[in-house]
Amino acid sequence: MTSHPPFPPLEVVVLAAGKGTRMYSRTPKVLHAIGGQPLLGHVIASARELGAKAIHVVIGFEGEKVQAAFSGQALAWAVQAEQLGTGHAVAQALPEVADDSVVLVLYGDVPLIRAETLKELTAQCGSDAIAILTVMSSDPTGLGRILRDQSGRPVAIVEEKDATPTQKQIRETNSGILAAPASRLRQWLAALTPQNAQGEYYLTDIIALAVADGCTVNSEVVEDELEVLGVNNKLQLAQLERHYQARRVRELLLTGVTLRDPARVDIRGRLECGRDVEIDTNVIFEGWVELEDNVSIGPNVIIRNSRIGSGTQVLANSLIEDSEVQSLCAIGPYARLRPGTQLADGAKVGNFVEIKKSVLGKGSKVNHLSYVGDATVGEHVNIGAGTITCNYDGVNKFKTIIQDGAFIGSNTALVAPVTVGKNATVGAGSTISQNVEDEDLSIGRARQRNIKGWKRPTKLNQ
Ligand code: UD1
Ligand code: CA
């Protein structure tokens, strides 16, 4: 293959105007998610990896929703009001494309395309050469077939509906992804006519036009069929989700993470793992999650946007969200860490405990059945079973402060705002609405009365 120094600037055109009728959804097709990210997001991410000078997205059906979903990003939008075919769709973006660019056409509903594949493809495109990405399809039904001449060069693409019975025997199909020099692409698109079985402007017709113009048509055959599979229905969405997860899991395994069952873990975002991390079955990671060395995650755990420090154990059925957990902590089983939770080294949060927007100092423990919200808990504090911070009066939230070494007896209600001082002790069953000084014992419960020889009432007529 000839090389082209300096490599021409690359502009990507992503087709995303389709309605996605077979999704039976009010959400535009390209906004359905794989691995927690919209289909279109995956395509844009691959395009960015190529260092594209501009990314143009062609929208149509519910285009405003698509735009809104990517509002923070540097994208050029083109509207295709009527879906008159893939050639017409690309033409909508071309006025914004520079003449000296190479145009790479991607589909917003083909999410698993890898940047490496696209690099190989675009490397085969130049001012006098286009490059198409093809695939050997196990079931080519509905797809465009690649026609090659005796020397094996692609000469045309024929759509299924326009193909002869012989052409339909061809298994090599068009992925739809191609790269072409902008100036010539402009001319070819202008020459398209809708004289075909579907009455559409076919992008695929540019191949024959390029050949007629003496342009070289290069091709790259992608090995993994699923890499270029488009999503048209929920079945394909589910298949690609599994495939995507298998890719992610493979990366983890090959970098030393232990997964008890690679088929039962879901990564919906970014997951970073240190050494000797172990992950049990049915674990879901969302957003950006970091697991440091020697972390172990039990079964049925969900972790979202959190960092888990080295040596920490997260036991079964726990849910951790927007939290920061330091080293050697123990969490769960059945613990819930809500946003804003910070656990210092060696802290323990046990079963049926909910923590929200609170700091737990070093070595502090909340082992059973408690709610700790809007609290600052010092070091080596023990919070007994059933303790509740009453942080909300129905309108406002108030803070609870528990200082180092304090001991809160079981079934205590801490009515915020309130402070329990250093090494103070609160007797079980207390309702604490006033501050407790350092070192003091506070008991806020009805005094026990014992009545000697008490006779229970007896039933009459017996
Ligand atoms: C197209 C190709 C076919 C290829 C197949 C791979 C053409 C004529 N045919 O088929 O050779 O094997 O993809 O999946 O190009 N779109 C628009 N506007 C339109 C039409 C389509 O934005 O007017 C978008 C769709 O949203 C979709 C993509 O283009 O993302 C492909 O459209 P689709 O209808 O799925 O593909 P076909 O035209 O059937
Ligand atoms: Ca299609």
Query: Of all atoms in ligand 1, which is nearest to the CA of residue 200?
Result: 8
Task: Judge: domain 10-228, CATH 3.90.550.10.
Answer: yes
Instruction: Give catalytic residue positions.
Output: 368
Helix (H) or strand (E) holding 321: strand 319-321
Give the confidence band of 460 by pLDDT, cuts at 50, 70, 90.
confident
Q: List, for residues 40-67, the tens digit of each pLDDT value.
A: 999 999 999 999 999 999 999 899 999 9
CA gap 346, 325 in Å, rounded: 9
Those residues whose C-beta lies under 8 Å from the C-beta of residue 393, and which sit 6 or more positions away, are none
E strands along 309-386, which residues? Answer: 313-314, 319-321, 324-325, 330-331, 335-337, 342-343, 348-351, 353-356, 359-360, 365-368, 371-373, 375-377, 382-383
Q: Name, in order, each residue with C-beta under 8 angstroms of 455's C-beta and a sequence gap of 6 or more.
A: none
How confident is the model at residue 7, as a pLDDT?
67
Euclidean distance between the first and the last CA atom of the chain, given in angstroms as a whole number: 106
Tens of pLDDT, residue by residue over 341-398, are: 999 999 999 999 999 999 999 999 999 999 999 999 999 999 999 999 999 999 999 9
11 phi, psi to nearest 5 deg: -125, 135
Q: Is the pLDDT of residue 462 over 90?
A: no
Residue 3 — very low, low, confident or very high, per pLDDT cuts 50/70/90? very low
Q: Span 142-153, mean pLDDT? A: 96
157 lines ligand 1 (CB under 6 A): yes
Check residue 6 and give its pLDDT: 38
Residue reference for tokens 């806020």: 444
- Residue to substitute in 86, 112, 221 for testing ligand 1 pocket (most ligand atoms within 8 angstroms of CB): 86
Q: What is the pTM of this model?
A: 0.93
Render pLDDT for 172-212 as a digit per residue (tens, 0 to 9).
Answer: 999 999 999 999 999 999 999 999 999 999 999 999 999 99
Q: Where are the domains of the chain?
A: 10-228, 234-442
Residue 461: predicted pLDDT = 80
Answer whether 10-228 and 234-442 agree in fold. Answer: no
| Residue pointed to by tokens 């090659």 | 148
**Residue 60 CA: which ligand 1 atom is closest?**
22
Enumerate residues 6+ apart whose C-beta is below 8 A from 440: 421, 424, 425
Class of domain 234-442: mainly beta
Q: pLDDT at position 1, please?
A: 44
Give distance in angstroms: CA of 433 to centre of ligand 2.
66
Task: Please tell me the distance between residue 57's alpha carbon and the centre of ligand 2 in angstroms.
Answer: 18
Beta strands 413-415 and 388-390, pairing class: parallel
